[in-house]
Amino acid sequence: MKLNHELLMKADERLREALEQAQGDEVLRAIVLLTANDQRNEGERPEPDPRHFTSRKAYREELIACRRRQMVHSLKQTIETLSALDLTTHGGEIGHTLVVEGTASRIAASLALPAVRHASLDRSIELIQPDLP
């Protein structure tokens, strides 16, 4: 596929090669880093006050739940846009990273989204077994 140089700069070397060699209908999986949007929406509760919790564990659990709600809200529009491109997304509950699956042409189109900061081609990770005496 012939791609815009500006969009290719958002992709790592392996994803660039895969997209350039693709016909367009090959299925790829990419790890996509999105720009942070930490703005609070109207009516959103502020972070919990530790004085309202009986234990550090309960406070920590509420902080995690609060962060997940914020993340879901901040990424909702981008995830919907990716879904509209017929891409499947996974993740985005804790951080600004998604696993995106779809055709090479759709992955390439996703690079044009302003919220997409960087994308890497997914690859297997080889586990190294330790030498046992």
Close Cβ partners of 87 (under 8 Å, ≥ 6 residues apart): 100, 101, 102, 106, 107, 110
Give the Cα separation of 33 and 56 in Å (integer): 31
Q: Tell me the per-residue pLDDT of 85-121, one tens digit each, with 9 for 90 and over.
A: 999 999 887 788 999 999 999 999 999 999 999 999 9
Q: DSSP class of residue 52?
A: G
Compute and round to an integer the Cα radius of gyration of the chain.
19
* pTM (predicted TM-score): 0.74
Domains of the chain, with CATH numbers? 5-36+72-121 (3.30.70.80)
Share of the chain above pLDDT 70, in %: 92
The one-letter code for the residue type at 130 is P
User: Across the chain, what does the average pLDDT equal?
Assistant: 87
